[in-house]
Structure 1
C-alpha cells in the first residue's frame, strides 16, 4: 500500500485542466469590510481556537464575540430537519418544470424560511437552540448519469446544461443579488465527479476521462461558481485519479481557486476527512493528522465530522500544526474564509439589522409559500401516456384510489426534507377535488411487501400471559429518550396524536413496551406511521429502524407463531407537530381482494405507486429485492405493485397509473396496456392537490423529463463505470421507453420554419435562431421549447440541449421564440480534453422534445455551416 504525506496524485490527469485553461490567480484586490473584520478576528485567535472553528459544530469564543454555530443545514427543496417548513417538490421534480424563474422563487422562499427559523431559535448570545443556521448545503448539481443511483433524486437530472441552469437559478435564490450580504450561503455539491454507487462511496477511486470531465461532470459546477457566485462548495467522498476529493489540490486549488477564481469556503462531506486515512476507505495517508493536513493544504476549510472524536476533532488539527504537517498560516486562511461567510451573513451581529430585517420568526410555512409549492408541483408533473382518458370529461361517479403511495406522506416529501404542516396526499387531493364523487381508498399492497394495516388493540398486552391489555408508555422531554420520563402510563396501543398542525414546535419522545400475540403464523412486517424517527423491536430483534430520517433503513421481515406472546418495544420521536401515528403490520394472510373489490365497484381506478425515500436514497440498508445500499438494481415497479396493477387492469375498469419516485421507472407493461400514466415525482407537501387537479384538467401538464426512462437496466453499462459512453440521451444509442425532454400535454403545439441570422459562420462566431410556436390545440397551455445541437465529429454527443424556454400560450396564440447559439454551443470536446469548434455542419433542432425515436416531438430543424476551426477555453 502506498501512502502520501504531501498530497501528490497517483496519476496526473493528462495535461491538467489548469494548463488547458491557462489562468492564474485573480489579482489581489483591496479587502472588503467583511474580509477585514474576518482577518482581525482570526489574528486574535489561539491555535486551539482556530482548530475548533474549522469543524462544523464550531464552539463559541465569547471574548471575541463569536457565538457557537452549526454549519450543517440542509435546504434541498425547502428547509430540512427543522420541524415544520414549506416542502417543495424534490429537486428532480423541480428540474422537470424546466422553469428557472420558478426554481429561483423556490430557493428565495427557502432562504426566507431559513432566516425565519434562525430568528426563532437564536439565543441572546447569538448561538442557535437546535435550529438551522444560514449556511445551506445545497444544491446538488452532480450529474444523474445512471438511474440506479439512489441519490439521483437530489439532482437536476442527467444533462449538464439543464443542471447548470437549474443550479444557477437555485443558488441565485438562496443567496440573493448582494454577495456582501447574502440571504443565505449556498453550498454546491458534491465536487466534482460523484454519482454512486452508494455502498462504495467512501473508498471509490473515480478516474474519468478528460473528455467526460469537461463535457459532462464539471459544467454545472463551473456555472455555479463563475455565474451564480456560490459562496461555498462541498467536496465529495470518493477519490479522483487516486487522490481523495477533499484532499485533491488539482481540483480544489488548480481548477476551483486558480482557474475559476473561487474565493469562498470548501466544506467536506461528512466523515470525508477520516476517509483520507482510514484503511477501510482510501488509506491515502497513515494518520489522522496527515489527513487533516492534506485536506487543509489542498483547500478544504471546514470539516464535517461524523462524531465527537474523530479525524475532524480540533486536537487532530492542532497536532498536525505542531508536527509541522501544515503551517499555522495555512490554517489561518481556512478560518478566515469561514469567518468571512459568518460576517457576510450577519451571524456575528445583533438580529434585526441588515437588508433582511423585515423577515420575522413567523415567516415560514405560510399560505403564500404553500401556494408556491402547489404551483411547483403542478409544473413538475409529466404526462407520460394518455389515450384520451385524461382529463376526466366529468367527475366520475366512483373513484377507487389504490396503492402504497395513495395516502402516505412519505412519497410527498422525498429525502432531505422538511415537515409539511398540512400535507395533502393523493387520496386527500382527489377526495377534495372530486367532492361529488364517491371516492374510496384501499392500500392494496405495500411498496415491496403485502399491505400494511393498523395492529388491533386486542393483540397487545402488558404481560406474557396477556392478562392485562395495552402497553406501558414512557414519555420523555426531548427527542432522545433521555433522562427520567416525564410521564408513565398504560395505553391500549402505540398510537398517539402528537398535536394539531400549529406553529408551536413539539420535541418529545416516547417508548412503549409490552407483548404482542399474533392470531396467525407466518411472516410479518412492522411499521410505525409517524413522520419522524422510530424503532420497533419484536422478540428482541430490531425489525424497523427509521430513527435517523436522514439515512433511513427499511423494514425487516420476522416470522411469528400464532397465539405466542412476543416482547415488543416501540420507540418514536417527534420534532414537529404531525399527528395520527399508528403501529402497523402486514399479516401473512393479507391479500389484494379488497382492492380488487373496490376497483370493480368504481368507474375509474387511480393506482398510486412507485417508491419512497425509504427505498432510494443515501447510504441506506434496504432489505428488499431490487435495492442495495440506497441504490436500485432494477428500474421495474416493485413486484407486489406490478402484480396488483395487472389484476386491477384485468377488472376491465380504466386505470390511471400515478408514479411517485425520484428516478426513472421501466413501466413497460403499463405503457403497453394502460390508458394513462402520470409521473408525479416526490411532489412536495401539497402534491396530492396538484395530482387531482391534473386528473380533472384544471391545468394542462407541461413537465418534461430531466432523465431518460430506459426500458431496462440491461440497456446500460455497469453502474460503477463512470464513462459516459452509452449513458444518458447524449450518448445512449438504444431505444428508450421515454426520452429525456419528453412530456405530453392536453393541447398541441406547431412549429414554423426556423430562421437563422446566418447560414454560414466562421468558427468561433455565434448565430441567432428563432421560430414561431403556435398553440394549435383547443385549450391554453404551457410548452417547453427545447434547442438541441448536433455535430458529426469525433467526441460529439448524439445531440445536446443548449437552450430551453417554458412559455404559456393561449389556444390559437403564436409566439416567436429566440435563442443565441454561441461558439461553445457549437463546439465539441476531443479525446485530449480540448474544446474545439470544428468545421462542417451544425444541425439545430427546436421543438417540444427530441426529434428522434418512437416518440419524436413536434419541432423543426435548420442547419448552419462552420468555416474553419477554433480552439476555445474548456468552459
Structure 2
C-alpha cells in the first residue's frame, strides 16, 4: 500500500495518542532523510558546558600519575594534601558517614560541577573527576564518554545483541554473559579505559516491530524481559559472598548497572514523530501490566543500582519531571538502592523541544530535581544541571539540600563500586582477563543456543559437509563483520564472518555479495545467480543493519530492503542444490515469499550474532549444534503496519478502528511466526504431566476485600470475582512435572515455555501470558522430566481495568508449550468464607 493511503481512519480522538499523518509530499521522504531533517540533541556537537575543561575518559589521574582508587595516600600527597584530614577516605567509617563528610566539604559551585555525567570533581578536597557514562549492552561498548579502546585495551568480547540472546531462554546463560562482561569492564577500569557505571540493560518491551531499537531488548514479553534484567543485573553487579546484605544501600558491587529507558519508550522517529516530541498516551492498566513491570522486577529482584528516565512524555508529563513515576515509584514503592539518571539531554528536550509548561531552564531543572533526578547526562552544548542549577538556587526554585540528596545518592553508589577504595578481589584484573578463549567460546555458544530455525522442509538441514564441498555464499551479509555486532557495541576481539567460518567446512566457496543491505542496485545479481547454478548448496544471507533499524531510525515496513527479495527469488530459482536463507536482523521481517517457496528448503534467523557469529551459524547449519532457540517476538506479516499506527499505544485490540492487538498476548491476527516459535533437528513432544496442585483455595473472613472483574457478555459473575494480590499472603504454589521426549536421532536442548490462560468468561484479558520457562537438554530418543513450581498469584494474576493486579476466581488454564505439541491442565481458584 502506498504511503499516502496508510491509515485512512486516523482522524479520531481516543484516550490514546491522536496521530494525524503529514501531507503526502512529506510522507514520501525516506526514513533516513526524515531522520536527518529532525534536529535532535544527539545530533548536536559533543561539547561540555561552556567554560569547563575537556573531559578525557581514563583512570584517576593526578599530576600525570594514574590511580585505581580515589582514596590513595600517594595521590593526596601529589595534590599537596594529607588524606588523614578527610573523613570520607576513612574506610573504617560507614559509607553514609563518609559521603556526608564529602558532600559537606563541597561548595555550592563544586556540588553543581558534579551533577553531570562528566563530573568535574573538586581538587581542593581531593575529589577526582569521574565519567559516569559507560555502556555494556552485550559487551563493553565504545558508546559513552567514559570508555575508550586503544593501546593496552584494543578490544573486548562481543556477545550477540540482546534480542538474539533472549531467544535462548536460558537464564544461566544470560547471567554468565553478564559476569563475563563485568569482568572485562572491571579489568578495563583498572587499565584506565572505562568507568564503573554501565548504563545497561535496555529493558523496554518491544511493543511494535517497527521500532528501531528492538535489537537492544529481550523481546515483547514483560515477564521474560523482567527475568532477563534480573539475571543480567545480578551477573554484572553481584560480588560473590555479598549477594545480600543487612543494608542493601552498602552492598558492594562489581560494577553498577542501569535499567533503561523508563517508561513506555518505544518510538524513535516514525513519519516525523520523534521520541523527543512523542506523548505516550497510556492507560494505567497497560502501564502496570506491560510497560512498568520489567523495571519493577529489575529493581525489586535484580537490585539494579540505577534507572534511566526516558525522553518521552507519558499522558502529557515528561517522565523525568514526574515525581509520581520517579521518586515515589523508584524510592518509596520499589526501594531503589542507587541513583536516577536522565537519558542524555532530557532536560534540554523538556525545555527546548517539549516546551513543557513554557517555563525557564531553571524551572525545568527544578522540576526534574524535585522529581528525583540525581544525575543529568548532557552531551550537547549545555548540561542543564551544570549550567542552570546555581541560578535556580538563587531564584529560590531549588534548595541546596536537594542538590545534597542527589550527590549523596551518587557518591554512595561510587563507594559501593570501589571508586574510593577499590575492591581487593578485582584489583588483579587486567589485560589477561579480556578477550580470553573462554569468553570467546561463551560468545559463540550464546549465538548457537539462540539461533532460531524457522523452516526446514524435508530435513534440508543439517547439511553433511562431506557431501557439499562446493557451496555458494551470496547476499549482503554473506561476509558480514560489523553488521553482526549491531549497536551499542565495542571493538570485538576479532570478526569471524560467515565466509570465514564456512570456508573451513567446504573445499570450495564462491562468495558474491550481489548488493549491499539497502540493495538499490541489481547489476551484480548475475554473478550470484551463476554461483548458485554451479554450487552443490547455496546460502543466501540477507536482512537488515543499522542503516535500516537503529536508535533514531524506526522502520517504515517489515519487508526486506530494496531488491533483496528479488535477489533471493532469482538465486533460489537458479540453484542446483539445496537453498538455505539466513536472516540477520533485530526485529521481524515478512519473508512469507521464502517460507512458501519450495526451492528454499530452510530459513534461519541469526539476529545480530556478535563478533563470532559466523562460526555459530556454521555450527548450526552443518549439524555440530542442534538449534533450540525460540522467537522472543512475534513475526508479523507486512499487512500489520497498514492496520495500526506506531503511535497507538494500547496493547489490546481497538475494534472501533480495526486495530489488531499487540504482542502475542493480545494480537488477534495471523502471525507469520508466533512468539515462542522455533524448530529443531529433533522432534519433541510433551506428556506425562503430573500435577501436584491443580486447585487454589483462599479463605476469607469477609467479602469486603473482593474486587470487581470485567466479564464478557453473558459471563457468570462470581459473588467474589477477584482479590487484590497486594492484600494477599500469596504463598500458594502450583507444582507440576512434564516429560519432554526427543524423538530424533540427535540430542538437543528444548525450551519449555509455560503460559497461563485466564478464565474463559473474563473480558479484555490476555489470550495467554508467559509465567515460566526452562531450557532442558534431552538426549536422542530420551525423555527429560522438567519440574515447575509457580507462585499462584504471579502465574494466574491479571491486571484489571482499575490497574489493580488481581487473582480471579474460576478456572484458569496452564499451558505447556506451543502449537500442536502443547499440553494443558485446569487450575481452579476458589475463595471460601
Q: TM-score higher than 0.5 here?
A: yes
**2:649 corresponding residue in structure 1:** 722
**1:594 corresponding residue in structure 2:** 527
Cα offset for 1:713? Answer: 4.2
2:129 to 60, 68, 82: 68
1:660 to 584, 588, 601: 584
On the 8 A contact 2:119/2:129 being kept in 1, the answer is: yes
Distance 1:332 1:95 in 2: 40
Distance 1:638 1:254 in 2: 45
On the 8 A contact 2:157/2:434 being kept in 1, the answer is: yes
After superposition, give the CA deviation of every residue in 1:316-362 in whole Å (9 maximum; x if it has no partner). Answer: 1111111111100011000111111111111123x5x5231231244
On the 8 A contact 1:717/1:727 being kept in 2, the answer is: no
**1:686 corresponding residue in structure 2:** 612
Distance 1:331 1:219 in 2: 30
**1:147 corresponding residue in structure 2:** 209
**2:322 counterpart of 1:322:** no
**1:731 corresponding residue in structure 2:** 666
Distance 1:156 1:744 in 2: 20
Cα offset for 1:111? Answer: 0.6
**2:629 counterpart of 1:703:** yes
Q: CA RMSD in A?
A: 2.0
**1:486 corresponding residue in structure 2:** none
1:782 to 749, 763, 770: 749
**Aligned-partner SS, 1:675:** strand
1:812 to 752, 759, 781: 781
Cα offset for 1:171? Answer: 0.3
* Most deviating of 58-67 and 231-240: 58-67
Distance 1:813 1:33 in 2: 56
Give 1 or 2: higher helix fraction: 2
**2:810 corresponding residue in structure 1:** 840
Distance 2:773 2:585 in 1: 25
**1:264 corresponding residue in structure 2:** 338
After superposition, give the CA deviation of every residue in 1:139-169 in whole Å (9 maximum; x if it has no partner). Answer: 0110000000001111000000110111100
**Aligned-partner SS, 1:186:** coil
**1:287 corresponding residue in structure 2:** 360
Distance 1:100 1:42 in 2: 40
Change beyond 3 A, Cα 1:677–1:238: same
**1:133 corresponding residue in structure 2:** 195
Q: Which runs of 4+ in 1 moved over 6 A?
A: none
**Aligned-partner SS, 1:632:** coil
2:265 to 185, 188, 194: 194
Cα offset for 1:857? Answer: 4.6
After superposition, give the CA deviation of every residue in 1:68-121 in whole Å (9 maximum; x if it has no partner). Answer: 111110100000003311000001011011011111111111111111111112
**1:512 corresponding residue in structure 2:** none
* Most deviating of 392-401 and 48-57: 392-401
Cα offset for 1:393? Answer: 3.0
1:255 to 313, 329, 353: 329
**1:347 corresponding residue in structure 2:** 419
**2:437 counterpart of 1:367:** yes
**2:565 corresponding residue in structure 1:** 642
**2:828 counterpart of 1:865:** yes
**2:160 corresponding residue in structure 1:** 89
Distance 1:372 1:65 in 2: 41
2:766 to 794, 797, 808: 797
On the 8 A contact 1:786/1:846 being kept in 2, the answer is: yes
Distance 1:154 1:66 in 2: 35
After superposition, give the CA deviation of every residue in 1:656-697 in whole Å (9 maximum; x if it has no partner). Answer: 100001111111001101210000000001000010111100
**1:103 corresponding residue in structure 2:** 174
On the 8 A contact 1:750/1:858 being kept in 2, the answer is: yes
Distance 1:320 1:51 in 2: 11
On the 8 A contact 1:836/1:869 being kept in 2, the answer is: no
On the 8 A contact 2:158/2:493 being kept in 1, the answer is: no
**Aligned-partner SS, 2:357:** coil
Cα offset for 1:779? Answer: 1.1
1:631 to 535, 550, 554: 554
On the 8 A contact 2:203/2:261 being kept in 1, the answer is: yes
**Aligned-partner SS, 1:277:** helix
**2:113 counterpart of 1:49:** no
On the 8 A contact 1:446/1:640 being kept in 2, the answer is: no
On the 8 A contact 1:87/1:418 being kept in 2, the answer is: yes
Distance 1:114 1:192 in 2: 27
On the 8 A contact 1:790/1:800 being kept in 2, the answer is: yes
Cα offset for 1:797? Answer: 0.1
**2:574 corresponding residue in structure 1:** 651
Distance 2:130 2:580 in 1: 49
Cα offset for 1:717? Answer: 2.2
Cα offset for 1:869? Answer: 8.7
On the 8 A contact 1:237/1:272 being kept in 2, the answer is: yes
**2:223 corresponding residue in structure 1:** 161
Change beyond 3 A, Cα 1:361–1:347: farther
2:101 to 23, 40, 60: 40
After superposition, give the CA deviation of every residue in 1:392-450 in whole Å (9 maximum; x if it has no partner). Answer: 13431210000111112122100000111320011111112x14x21111101111134
Cα offset for 1:368? Answer: 1.5
Distance 1:231 1:51 in 2: 22
After superposition, give the CA deviation of every residue in 1:575-616 in whole Å (9 maximum; x if it has no partner). Answer: xxxxxxxxxxxxxx8331111111111111100110112321
**Aligned-partner SS, 1:754:** strand
**1:439 corresponding residue in structure 2:** 509
Q: Which runs of 5+ in 2 are unaligned?
A: 1-14, 17-91, 143-147, 150-154, 243-247, 653-660, 699-729
Cα offset for 1:310? Answer: 4.3
Cα offset for 1:862? Answer: 0.7
**Aligned-partner SS, 2:113:** helix
Give 1 or 2: higher strand fraction: 1
**1:128 corresponding residue in structure 2:** none
Distance 2:361 2:355 in 1: 12
Distance 2:125 2:689 in 1: 64
On the 8 A contact 2:190/2:427 being kept in 1, the answer is: no
On the 8 A contact 2:753/2:774 being kept in 1, the answer is: yes
Distance 1:712 1:614 in 2: 20
Distance 2:339 2:357 in 1: 23
Q: After TM superposition, list the pairs within 5 Å mapping 1:402-421 onto structure 2.
A: 402-421=474-493
Distance 1:702 1:36 in 2: 52
On the 8 A contact 1:450/1:590 being kept in 2, the answer is: no
Distance 1:333 1:355 in 2: 30
